[in-house]
C-alpha cells in the first residue's frame, strides 16, 4: 500500500486531468467545525436518541415538539459553526478545475459559507422551513419556540430537510445525477456510505467512467470501490491535496 504522500500525488494527477469534478460530502466534513456526525459514537448526534423517532414523518407526527426542539438545538449549534480547512480546500478547487460541483448530504450551509458556488443539497437545509401537511414554503419563522409554529393552513411547520422514507428533492437529485454522469473524478468526503441514495453516488460516477477518491479516517462500504483512499481527517487531507494539485498545474491551465 503506497504511503499517503504518494497517494496524494496520484490523486493530484487524476484531478489535474479532470475538467469536471464532483465532490460528494457527508457529516464528516463538518466534524472539524464542531458539528458531531450521525453515527460516530460517543458524540454522535443520535447517541442519545432513536433516529426513527426524530428523522421520520412518523416521529414528527408522534412528538412534533421533541423533533422541533432537536432541530432548534442543532440549528443553534450550526449557526455558531464556521467552515473548516476541508470546506475551504473544496472551495479552492474551483480555482484549479474548470467545473466543480459539490453534492452534499449536509444541511448546515458550511460549503456555501466557505465559497463553493455550485452546491447541491440533497437532504435539504436546516435554515429553511416548510409546512408538514402541504409543504408550503415558509419564508421566515414566526418565532423559534419550544413547539413547532403553525403555517397559515394550520399545519405544523417543520425543517425543510429530508427524513427517512421521504423522496429527495427532484431538482437536486436530477442535477446530482447529471453531474455524476459527466464528471471525470468524484471525491467522496466524510460519509459512512450507509444512507441511500447518496451511498450510491460514487458507484454511479464510477459506472460512467469516473475515478473515485475517498477521504475518510475510517474504511466505509465505498472504500473497496475507490481508486484512491486517503485515510485521515478532511481538514488535514484536503488542503494537502489542493497544495499538491497546485504544484501539478501547469501555468496557462485553468487558474
Question: Which residues are designated catalytic?
Answer: 123
Instruction: Please report the beta strands in the chain, taking only residues with DSSP state E, as ranges in sequence order.
Output: 20-25, 99-104, 119-121, 124-131, 137-138, 157-161, 185-189, 211-216, 228-231
Q: Is 105 in the site for ligand BJW (CB under 6 A)?
A: yes
CA distances from 234 to 32, 129, 182 (A): 8, 30, 25
Q: Which residue spans within 80-208 are E strands per DSSP? A: 99-104, 119-121, 124-131, 137-138, 157-161, 185-189
Query: Is 216 a residue that touches ligand BJW (CB under 6 A)?
Result: yes
Q: Which of 192, 202, 226, 230 binds ligand BJW (CB under 6 A)?
A: 192
Between CA 103 and CA 190 the distance in angstroms is 12
Of 152 and 196, nearer to ligand BJW (C-beta) is: 196
> Under the criterion CB under 6 A, does residue 162 sit at the interface with ligand BJW?
yes
Give the whole-angstrom CA distance, residue 140 versus residue 153.
15
Q: Minimal distance in Å, beta carbon 255 to ligand BJW?
A: 28
CA 7-82-136 angle, to 5 degrees, is 110
Q: Could you check whether the bond before residue 72 is cis, i.e. omega within 30 degrees of 0?
A: no
Question: If binding is defined by CB under 6 A, does position 209 make contact with ligand BJW?
Answer: no
Q: Of 162 and 245, which has the nearer Cβ to ligand BJW?
A: 162
Does position 37 interact with ligand BJW (CB under 6 A)? The reply is: yes
Residue 203 makes contact with ligand BJW by CB under 6 A: no
- DSSP tag of 164: B
For residue 121, the minimal CB distance to ligand BJW (Å) is 10
Among 43, 140, 171, 196, contact with ligand BJW (rule: CB under 6 A): 196
- Quote the CA–CA distance of 120 and 101 in Å, as a whole number: 8
Query: Can residue 39 be called a binding residue for ligand BJW (CB under 6 A)?
Result: yes
Per-residue binding string, ligand BJW, 78-97, x by CB under 6 A, is --------------------
Least gap, CB of 19 to ligand BJW (angstroms): 26
Residues that bind ligand BJW (CB under 6 A): 26-28, 31-32, 37-40, 55, 105, 107, 123, 161-168, 189-192, 194-197, 215-218, 220, 233-234
Amino acid at each position: 500500500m503506497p504511503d499517503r504522500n504518494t497517494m496524494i500525488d496520484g490523486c493530484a494527477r487524476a484531478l489535474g486531468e479532470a475538467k469536471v469534478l464532483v465532490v460528494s460530502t457527508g457529516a464528516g466534513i463538518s466534524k472539524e467545525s464542531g458539528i458531531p456526525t450521525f453515527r460516530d459514537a460517543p458524540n454522535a448526534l443520535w447517541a442519545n436518541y432513536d433516529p426513527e423517532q426524530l428523522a421520520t414523518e412518523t416521529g414528527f407526527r408522534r412528538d412534533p415538539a421533541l423533533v422541533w426542539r432537536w432541530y432548534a438545538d442543532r440549528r443553534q449549534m450550526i449557526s455558531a459553526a464556521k467552515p473548516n480547512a476541508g470546506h475551504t480546500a473544496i472551495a479552492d478547487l474551483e480555482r484549479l478545475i474548470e467545473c466543480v460541483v459539490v453534492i452534499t448530504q449536509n444541511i448546515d450551509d458550511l460549503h456555501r459559507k466557505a465559497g463553493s458556488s455550485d452546491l447541491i443539497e440533497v437532504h435539504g437545509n436546516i435554515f429553511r422551513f416548510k409546512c408538514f401537511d402541504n409543504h408550503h414554503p415558509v419564508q421566515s419563522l414566526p418565532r423559534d419556540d419550544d413547539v413547532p409554529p403553525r403555517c397559515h393552513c394550520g399545519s405544523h411547520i417543520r425543517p425543510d430537510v429530508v427524513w427517512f422514507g421521504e423522496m429527495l428533492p427532484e431538482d437536486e437529485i436530477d442535477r446530482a445525477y447529471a453531474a455524476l454522469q459527466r464528471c471525470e473524478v468524484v471525491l467522496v468526503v466524510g460519509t459512512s456510505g450507509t444512507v441511500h441514495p447518496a451511498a450510491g453516488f460514487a458507484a454511479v460516477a464510477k459506472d460512467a467512467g469516473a475515478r473515485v477518491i475517498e477521504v475518510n479516517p475510517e474504511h466505509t462500504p465505498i472504500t473497496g470501490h475507490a481508486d484512491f483512499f486517503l485515510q485521515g481527517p478532511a481538514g488535514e487531507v484536503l488542503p494537502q491535496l489542493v497544495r499538491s494539485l497546485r504544484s501539478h498545474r501547469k501555468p496557462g491551465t485553468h487558474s
